Amino acid sequence: MQSSTNIQLIKSKYILKQIFDHLKEKKLLIIIKHNKKVQNKLDISINNYKNYSQIEIEIKPGKDLHGKFINILNKEDEQYYHIFFNNDEKEIKRSYLTSSESIEKIKIIIDYQIKSFSCLFKNCECIESIEFINFKRDNIIYMNFMFEGCLNLSTINLSKFNTENVVYMNHMFDGCISLSELNLSMFKIGNNVNMIHMFLLCENEFRFEIRKKYGMILKSEAFE
The predicted-structure confidence for 90-117, as pLDDT tens digits, reads as follows 676 655 555 556 778 888 888 777 889 9
For residues 37 and 78, membership in a common domain is answered with no
For residues 175 and 79, membership in a common domain is answered with yes
Q: What is the structure's pLDDT at 105? A: 84
Residues of the chain with pLDDT under 70: 1-53, 64-66, 87-90, 92-101
For residues 113 and 163, membership in a common domain is answered with yes
For residues 95 and 23, membership in a common domain is answered with no
Q: What is the structure's pLDDT at 4? A: 53
Q: Which domain holds residue 199?
A: 59-224
Cα 17 to Cα 52: distance, rounded to the nearest angstrom: 10
Count how many domains the chain has: 2
Q: What is the structure's pLDDT at 110? A: 84
- Name 76's Cβ contacts closer than 8 Å, sequence gap at least 6: none
For residues 166 and 81, membership in a common domain is answered with yes
For residues 46 and 74, membership in a common domain is answered with no
For residues 113 and 188, membership in a common domain is answered with yes
What is the value of pTM for the model shown?
0.75
For residues 38 and 142, membership in a common domain is answered with no
Cα 224 to Cα 222: distance, rounded to the nearest angstrom: 6
Q: Which among 29, 12, 38 has a CA at the least distance from the CA of 112?
A: 29
The predicted-structure confidence for 119-156, as pLDDT tens digits, reads as follows 999 998 889 999 988 777 778 899 999 999 999 999 99
